[in-house]
Amino acid sequence: MTNAIKCLNYIDGNWISARSHDRLESRNPANSQELVATFPRSSATDVDKAVVAARQAYKSWRTVPAPQRAEYIQRIGELLLQEKEKLARLMSREMGKVLTEARGDVQEGIDCAFYYAGEGRRLFGQTTPSELGNKFAMTMRVPIGVCALITPWNFPIAIPCWKALPALVCGNTIVFKPAKDTPACGTMLIEIFAEAGLPAGVVNLVHGSGKEVGRALLEHPDVDLVSFTGSSTTGAEVGETCGRTHKRVCLEMGGKNAQIVMEDADLDLALEGALWGAFGTTGQRCTATSRLLLHKEIKAEFTTRLVEQTSKLRLGAGTDSNTDVGPLVNSTQLKRVSDYLEIARNEGAKILIGGQVARGEELKNGYFFQPTILDDVTPDMRVAREEIFGPVVSLIEVNSFAEAIEIINDTPYGLSSSVYTRDVNRAFQAMRDIEAGITYINGPTIGAEVHLPFGGVKQTGNGHREAGSTALDVFTEWKTVYVDFSGKLQRAQIDNR
Ligand code: ADP
């Protein structure tokens, strides 16, 4: 209890308590008796303080030359690199992912920092000829203002970095609300931002619940943009409120990703991909593989081998180097996954392996669920359509490539997708016809790199893409500038006709 980290809010360059003295807890999901951190239950009053500070800081931050802003981002990258192991260990304790993956999560933040630091010397606009003589036309990116970043717990360093670093290099200021399950990771990240020497008010951190802090950010008249990653239900609410309050909004929501395995695929490769896609991060990734569309000719063999490999996966604390699959993040997720298994049973799916909360002396205080494979799943079942966010994968048999494409598209979501085939024609058809923001050929559904656009179609997103140069489109507006050096009034569409 005494070792628990005491998280504070960070507002206008100061670490401070919330107005209310209520504190919330973050516990180790591998052993819920271990208290990892306590954090303030902030309210609309604390949010207001942070937004006021961000608005004030914006006045000067927007005019700092982008290459100078980028120097802070570069420094953040260097500090993240220095603290990588410490951050990864904290993450593993706080939200359960295995250490190798936690290191990957931090590395994504580091990659992001170095990528957006470089962007400080680009942020390109365009010049184009004017239709009139002695007139110059150009476009430039301008920052938007105060950005609220509302993030989930499954990538507690990578996702905030994806949002904060492009936002900052573009000249915005931010108010960050981390998820309730990962306040200590959020705090350590902002400690690094503070150490990088960002001016007071440029970055602010407000802890608390979605209902209080999240909502207050959405309603605050001085927040210009909301960047949200989380569930589709919450995202819909965020979008609705931002529509009403005239905010820019970028939404990254759920997925129901599938991997197709055709009869001509390299089955060893496809098997490895399926295991990593389905059970990596305990299935708690928005890009996790939750459906396997298996061609009838290879289904029996593939299934036998998949079950065999799955039976070898070792459950345990993410901090233990022998662990393959860590716990679910909290009791709510454990119940949600258990409820989906009940739904699967009632719908007539067959459980080939797993299907239960994991028992055992070492697991009893954690939120462990057995890696689970469901067979005889049909595309209309709820388990084939809804996001489960746990170590559960559904097998669906397909008779042809055309049928596989039809089924892969038959969900409300469209984030990631994967096809294993040796046929180049099928590969290109898949790239063209799959309705998803991301398609992997001969790779699993997970594995995004920071310099490429990330996001999805249909109910996964609202048309934006994070990461890469596309994130700049989220965090800037275009300004069009005409410079007339003719010394006279020149009327477009009129005087040149
Ligand atoms: P999860 O908690 O499963 O990641 P959520 O979509 O519920 O998914 O939460 C994602 C983020 O959105 C979290 O930081 C959460 O606190 C926040 N949040 C939850 N509800 C709301 C809401 N009504 N308004 C704004 N933010 C919210």
User: What's the CATH code of the domain at 27?
Assistant: 3.40.605.10
Tens digits of per-residue pLDDT, 156-178? 999 999 999 999 999 999 999 99
Question: Is residue 37 in some structural domain?
Answer: yes
Q: How many domains does the chain have?
A: 2
**Bridge partner residues of 15 (DSSP):** 10
For the question of residue 7 being annotated catalytic, the response is no
For residue 291, the surrounding DSSP H or E stretch is strand 289-295
Closest CA to 140 of 486, 472, 492: 472
For residue 404, the surrounding DSSP H or E stretch is helix 401-408
Locate 265 and state its tokens.
């695929």
Tens digits of per-residue pLDDT, 131-163? 999 999 999 999 999 999 999 999 999 999 999
Number of neighbouring beta carbons within 10 Å of residue 342? 10
User: Exposed, middle or buried by CB within 10 Å (0-12, 13-18, 19+), for 340?
Assistant: buried
Alpha-carbon distance of 250 to 239, in angstroms, equals: 8
* Phi, psi at 402, each rounded to 5°: -60, -40
Q: What is the pLDDT of residue 479?
A: 98
* CATH for 413: 3.40.309.10
Query: Do 298 and 371 reside in the same domain of the chain?
Result: yes
Ligand 1 within 6 A of 390 CB?
A: no
- Taking the CA of residue 154 as reference, the ligand 1 atom at the shortest distance is 4
Mean pLDDT computed over every residue of the chain: 97
For the question of residue 286 being annotated catalytic, the response is yes
Query: Do 373 and 292 reside in the same domain of the chain?
Result: yes
Question: Is residue 424 in some structural domain?
Answer: yes
Alpha-carbon distance of 373 to 290, in angstroms, equals: 10
Q: 391: which DSSP letter?
A: S
Alpha-carbon distance of 284 to 286, in angstroms, equals: 7
Query: Do 145 and 282 reside in the same domain of the chain?
Result: no
Query: Do 249 and 261 reside in the same domain of the chain?
Result: no
Question: Is residue 448 in some structural domain?
Answer: no
Query: Do 468 and 400 reside in the same domain of the chain?
Result: no
Spans of the chain, pLDDT less than 70: 1-2
Q: Considering only CA atoms, which residue is closest to atom 4 of ligand 1? A: 152
Query: Do 233 and 289 reside in the same domain of the chain?
Result: no
Query: Do 181 and 212 reside in the same domain of the chain?
Result: yes
Selecting among 252, 263, 397, 466, the annotated active-site residue is 252
DSSP codes joined into one string, 299-368: HHHHHHHHHHHHHTPPB--TTSTT-SB---SSHHHHHHHHHHHHHHHHHT-EEEE--SB--SGGGTTS--
Query: Do 418 and 404 reside in the same domain of the chain?
Result: yes
Query: Do 244 and 369 reside in the same domain of the chain?
Result: no
Question: Residue 248 sits in which domain range?
Answer: 5-253+461-480
Q: What is the best residue among 163, 218, 233, 234 to mutate for testing ligand 1's pocket, by most ligand atoms within 8 Å of CB?
A: 234
Query: Do 305 and 417 reside in the same domain of the chain?
Result: yes
Alpha-carbon distance of 426 to 243, in angstroms, equals: 41
Q: What is the pLDDT of residue 3?
A: 85
The predicted model scores a pTM of 0.97
Q: Considering only CA atoms, which residue is closest to atom 2 of ligand 1? A: 152
Ligand 1 within 6 A of 182 CB?
A: no
Question: Is residue 147 in some structural domain?
Answer: yes
Question: Is residue 494 in some structural domain?
Answer: no
Question: Is residue 493 in some structural domain?
Answer: no
Question: Is residue 489 in some structural domain?
Answer: no
Query: Do 104 and 207 reside in the same domain of the chain?
Result: yes
- Taking the CA of residue 389 as reference, the ligand 1 atom at the shortest distance is 3
Query: Do 162 and 91 reside in the same domain of the chain?
Result: yes
27 neighbors 36 (Cβ within 8 angstroms): yes
Q: What is the pLDDT of residue 454?
A: 98
215 neighbors 237 (Cβ within 8 angstroms): no
Any residues with CB less than 8 A from the CB of 65 and at least 6 apart, and which? none
Question: Is residue 456 in some structural domain?
Answer: no
Alpha-carbon distance of 133 to 489, in angstroms, equals: 11
Q: 268: which DSSP letter?
A: H
